[in-house]
Structure 1
Amino acid sequence: MTLTTFSLKGWAEQQFGPIDGLVQGIAVATVIGICAQFLSEHYGAPAMLMALLLGIAFHFLAEEGRCVSGINFTARTVLRMGVALLGARISVELLIGLGVELIGLVVLGVVVTILFAWVGAKFLGRGWRFALLTGGSVAICGASAAMAIAAVLPKNEHSERNLLFTVLSVTVLSTIAMIVYPIIAQTLGMDEQMIGVFLGGTIHDVAQVVGAGFSVSDAAGETATLVKLIRVSMLAPVVLLFALMFRNMESDADESGKPAVKPPLVPGFVIAFMVFAGLNSLGLIPAVVASFLSELSRWALLIAIAAVGMKCSLKTIFDVGGQAIILIVAETVFLALFILGGLWYLK
């Protein structure tokens, strides 16, 4: 018993660093996540945004000290766990319920937005990593997509800064869209289904989609949520494609000077995402369990983004430049116009 415990402890310390530091770092990120949720529930601020900003305020903990290994573990491993558990929200039944034409519009919106980001980044002099990160987050599901895509892209010295900027930007833009888009849709005289498709197909984060949809009507809210989950289901194939495309491209050496380890052919968290989605599609995950896994995923991502925030200072985010802001705003506007145009064409 003692030997087994010792062996497990030794393996864990070899993989992640000192156990005490691991626990302390996770605990700090968890407390920040709980505080962010409290602020969200009592003051209406997006929880992800609060977790990010509070995390940045505690940046000094990630620079040195006993919490560093736990913060790194949370920002990487807990993040991937949260993305994997998102699969429990997805089922084939969701896809069938909307119809082939609208599903095609939503999927095409994801593809063309990422392509637009690639072209726009070249035009503005930004790198392809930044293009895929921002384009994927706008096209799919905001902060969750940004974190999942960042996990498979080759790393460089700007990776963490770009991730923080993207999460901050899509959260702010999503909150603005939650307020403005329902007004635009109703002004254009859309019916409830069209409003739901527009809101679910354009707003970045799930929470803001739900808020915007149900602010119009129950029918619009249900349709918006359904469409949004179809966009979320695109996360696995997009991340898998990126992982395969850039698997042979080396990341920069890490902070310890060790060369980066070549990633697996298919990232484990992508496989887990697809397994959960498959089980849910087959009806093998009870509704109560699916709800629990969905909530667990939300908390894991909230805690992970707090850790990501702690790993980067506010100054480095501002260093990203005005072109980056132009790009992510342009991507958001492009997606909205594309979905609007598609809806009028299919009408």
Structure 2
Amino acid sequence: MPLQPADLTPAPAADRLRSLIPRLFPGVMACAVVAAAAGFLGEHYGAPTLLFALLLGLAMNFLSEQGPCGPGIAFCGRTLLRIGVALLGLRITLAQVVALGWGPVLLVLLCVALTIALSMLAARRLGFQGLFGLLTGGATAICGASAALALSAALPVHPQKERATLFTVIGVSALSTFAMVAYPMLTQALGLSPRAAGIFLGATIHDVAQVVGAGYGISREAGDAATLVKLLRVAMLLPVILLAATLTRRAAALSSNGSSAVPGEPAGARPPLLPGFAVGFALLVAVNSTGWVPGWAQAAGSEASRWCLVTAMAGIGMKTQLRDLATVGLKPVALMLGETLFLAALALVLMRWLA
């Protein structure tokens, strides 16, 4: 049957995609350039790449205020961020969790749960919303800047959300770098065995890269233990995202007289119980646990996740005014420092019985 003229008409979805790409391209390219520069600086100076991406993005925030880059920057700060979080699932398998034994698993569960609970309580006592404590506590207890970005994506839209996320990323990156230097010396002063030192480092240092550097700086045994414990903390990202999504739904459900409790969302809108990127994260963990994913695919997915997160961080930095961060005050700093010290002390106490 010959094609009719109507059959040759492009589908509406194709039309939207064709019109969307030119709008997004300038901003996406700007974020990609910043991400590449941040990667270069991170590799040559040994500092967190995400932190460099944030600082460079802040320096170029004028791009989001004027010109054609705004839509692409917003795309990187939201959609690309969620893709990067989902791809984190390729770092973890259930076999890695089982290999640790029940002691370190229980230790991580208690550390994450108690740190986040205390953070939410302390945030309220300091005059902040409990969700700010969930953001900072989750970043401290799970996997640093990556967790901060993932939780931010799951939390409701709020005028101060970007500022809170940026402050959390800056704080957790600085504290993680300090911990990478100080904690190995602490384990030596306490006379911990290589395995015990690795468990402590994996349970307390914020970012994955710093955990690896600190652990293998002691010994191979310590590095292996630190990496596995850290990956277990990364696996806790899924239930904590579920908690954040549940709290967001509850806030939306509490809206009265037809108005939304979540600024920026239409009245009556309720976010999904589990965001799509969290479902993707869980599915990739499950698939990765089958052993069907070849090593090169795991490495490629992990690298793609890293670059998505770096590019997203550049976009978030571009969307934020630096003068807004200067007004956070001392209370948020004290909150994050207290969370870090509490996590380290709790891990040392629990290790006496669980590791």
TM tier relative to shorter chain = over 0.9
Q: Is the 8 A contact 1:90 1:280 kept in 2?
A: yes
After TM superposition, the structure 1 stretch with the greater mean CA deviation from structure 2, 20-29 or 104-113, is 20-29
Letter in 2 for 1:196: G
Residues 41-78 of structure 1, C-alpha deviations (whole Å, 9 max, x = no match): 11222111100000000111111220100000000000
Query: Kindly tell me: are residues 125 and 96 of structure 1, through their superposed partners in 2, closer, same or farther at Cα, counting changes over 3 Å?
Result: same
Give 1:63's match in structure 2, choosing from 58, 62, 65: 65
Q: Hey, what does 1:304 align to over in structure 2?
A: 312
Match of 1:247, SS?
Answer: helix
Q: Hey, what does 2:15 align to over in structure 1?
A: 9
Rg: which structure is higher? 2
Letter in 1 for 2:10: T
Query: Kindly tell me: are residues 7 and 235 of structure 1, through their superposed partners in 2, closer, same or farther at Cα, counting changes over 3 Å?
Result: closer
Match of 1:319, SS?
Answer: coil
Letter in 2 for 1:65: G
Query: Kindly tell me: are residues 12 and 74 of structure 1, through their superposed partners in 2, closer, same or farther at Cα, counting changes over 3 Å?
Result: farther
CA distance in 1, matches of 2:37, 2:246: 38
CA distance in 2, matches of 1:77, 1:251: 19
CA distance in 1, matches of 2:145, 2:98: 26
Letter in 1 for 2:153: A
Give 1:269's match in structure 2, choosing from 253, 271, 277: 277
Letter in 1 for 2:200: F
Q: Is the 8 A contact 1:251 1:260 kept in 2?
A: no
Give 1:127's match in structure 2, choosing from 126, 129, 148: 129
After TM superposition, the structure 1 stretch with the greater mean CA deviation from structure 2, 312-321 or 134-143, is 312-321
Q: Hey, what does 1:82 align to over in structure 2?
A: 84
CA distance in 2, matches of 1:233, 1:159: 24
Match of 2:249, SS?
Answer: coil
After TM superposition, the structure 1 stretch with the greater mean CA deviation from structure 2, 118-127 or 286-295, is 118-127
Q: Give the C-alpha shift of residue 120 in structure 1.
A: 1.1
Q: Give the C-alpha shift of residue 126 in structure 1.
A: 1.6
Q: Hey, what does 1:27 align to over in structure 2?
A: 29
Give 2:338's match in structure 1, choosing from 310, 327, 330: 330
CA distance in 2, matches of 1:121, 1:235: 20
Match of 1:4, SS?
Answer: coil
CA distance in 1, matches of 2:289, 2:110: 23
Query: Kindly tell me: are residues 112 and 56 of structure 1, through their superposed partners in 2, closer, same or farther at Cα, counting changes over 3 Å?
Result: same
Letter in 2 for 1:9: D
Match of 1:246, SS?
Answer: helix
Query: Kindly tell me: are residues 12 and 322 of structure 1, through their superposed partners in 2, closer, same or farther at Cα, counting changes over 3 Å?
Result: farther
Matches within 5 A, 1:206-225: 206-225=208-227
Q: Hey, what does 2:240 align to over in structure 1?
A: 238
Q: Is the 8 A contact 2:106 2:354 kept in 1?
A: no
Letter in 1 for 2:179: A
Q: Give the C-alpha shift of residue 2 in structure 1.
A: 6.8
For structure 2, the 5+ residue unaligned runs are 1-6, 253-260
Matches within 5 A, 1:162-311: 162-248=164-250, 249=252, 250-253=261-264, 261-311=269-319
CA distance in 1, matches of 2:76, 2:157: 18
CA distance in 2, matches of 1:43, 1:230: 28
For structure 1, the 5+ residue unaligned runs are none
Q: Is the 8 A contact 1:57 1:310 kept in 2?
A: yes
CA distance in 2, matches of 1:298, 1:157: 27
After TM superposition, the structure 1 stretch with the greater mean CA deviation from structure 2, 327-336 or 56-65, is 56-65
Letter in 2 for 1:102: P
After TM superposition, the score normalised by the length of structure 1 is 0.94
Q: Give the C-alpha shift of residue 265 in structure 1.
A: 2.7
After TM superposition, the score normalised by the length of structure 2 is 0.92
Query: Kindly tell me: are residues 306 and 259 of structure 1, through their superposed partners in 2, closer, same or farther at Cα, counting changes over 3 Å?
Result: farther
Q: CA RMSD in A?
A: 1.7
CA distance in 2, matches of 1:7, 1:83: 26
